[in-house]
Amino acid sequence: MKINYYNLRHLFLIPSLLILPLYLNAFNGHVGFNKNITDVEWNFLPNTNSSFKYSESADAEFFIYHKNYGLKFNSSSFNLDLERSIHPKELELNAESNEVEFFYIKEDQTSSYSLAFKEQVADPQIIDCYTFSSLTIGTCADAQITLSNSKPKYNFLGDSLLWIAGENKSIRSSFIKATNNSLVDEYSFFLELTENQFNWISPIEEITTGFVANLSFNGSRIGDLVTGTIVTLPQRDKWLTVVAGFSINKSIPIVNNFFFFYEPTFVLVKQIDYRNINDIPTYNLKIISGINYNYLNFDISLFATYYHKNLYGFEHIAFNQRSEHHYDSNYGSIGISGYYKF
């Protein structure tokens, strides 16, 4: 499923654009958008995992500052579509984020400090069938077992088998400095702390013990098959993600108003109270590079983004026990951005 960019909550930009001309003489800043797409059929991007189909992210921001103080609002969406050979055969992850960032800008405007607060919420995933090794449980046509349970906490599931929800909250502090270096126009340091919270509900928990659990399927206990998969579902206990990062950017004139730019970002990532099943990375490298066109107050860029360890440390809602085994692979996307500066 592809995101309808204009239906997102970040349409707060429309009233902002309507009132903006009234304040142009008193404030400086920008409004802008950014969109990235990855498609499994694009073989010029790094190879994705076998279940990956499509991913899209979009964000819009409004930044305004006056003298030493600035304020930025950002609203974004993230979409990930998967196709698998076993149940659930199709999965969608859709999440939206809202962020507010406060800036203190030095008098010479060559450096700034900022503090940002962000919240990200995913749409719940509703799954009708799940394959546990070779055993499929649920209400789909090829399910070997159909479960029903009279406990009130499962009533909202209806005929579905599993409900999964996730969200996170982040706080990030940053320092940004402009330079006259031939290789770097600007560099920044940042430290981010994210609290992750996932939850899931399913009657499959009821068959890890008891009569059904002791039944055999293809030579294995049903209880063992179910238990072995349950441990790969997202943990329900909160955990913290600490990200420390360093970034630089550089813009190089090409011809007329065209520029070549690059922006590498290196992060160290630490999970606290997270119960990993597989080895997980401790770092990641993200590189954005492309062509920028600047005309008067308008700025448009076409670019590619490369991640050395998938989206690890950058898109927290996508990381948990179900997905951690994919975070040792590369990831890439193609993007476009546009800004109006005032």
Question: What residues pair up with 311 in beta bridges, in sequence order?
Answer: 309
Categorize the per-residue pLDDT at 21 as very low, low, confident or very high, splitting at 50, 70 and 90: low
Tell me: pLDDT of 180 over 90: no
pLDDT recorded at residue 24: 56
- At residue 27, φ and ψ (nearest 5 deg) are -130, 160
In order, the DSSP letters of 331-342 are EEEEEEEEEEE-
pLDDT recorded at residue 134: 86
> Over the stretch 37-57, which tens digit does the pLDDT of each residue have?
999 999 989 988 889 999 999
Closest listed residue to residue 173, CA positions, set 147, 193, 202 = 193
Question: What residues pair up with 23 in beta bridges, in sequence order?
Answer: none
Categorize the per-residue pLDDT at 22 as very low, low, confident or very high, splitting at 50, 70 and 90: low
State which amino acid sits at residue 233: L
pLDDT recorded at residue 133: 85
pLDDT recorded at residue 54: 96
Tokens 């179900």, located at residue: 322
Asked if 301 and 293 touch (Cβ cutoff 8 Å), the reply is yes
Question: Cα separation of 69 and 323, whole Å?
Answer: 40
Helix spans in the chain (H): 13-19, 222-230
Helix spans in 200-267 (H): 222-230
CA atoms within a 13 Å half-sphere pointing along the CA-CB vector of 195: 7
Tell me: pLDDT of 5 over 50: no
> Over the stretch 105-155, which tens digit does the pLDDT of each residue have?
999 989 999 999 999 999 999 999 999 988 999 999 899 999 888 889 999
Q: What is the set of domains in the chain, with CATH numbers?
A: 5-341 (2.40.128.130)
pLDDT recorded at residue 304: 98
Closest listed residue to residue 244, CA positions, set 276, 272, 266 = 266
Which of 181-185, 201-205, 214-218, 334-338 is predicted most confidently?
334-338
Average pLDDT of the residues in 247-264? 97
Question: Cα separation of 322 and 52, whole Å?
Answer: 14
Asked if 2 and 80 touch (Cβ cutoff 8 Å), the reply is no
pLDDT recorded at residue 49: 82
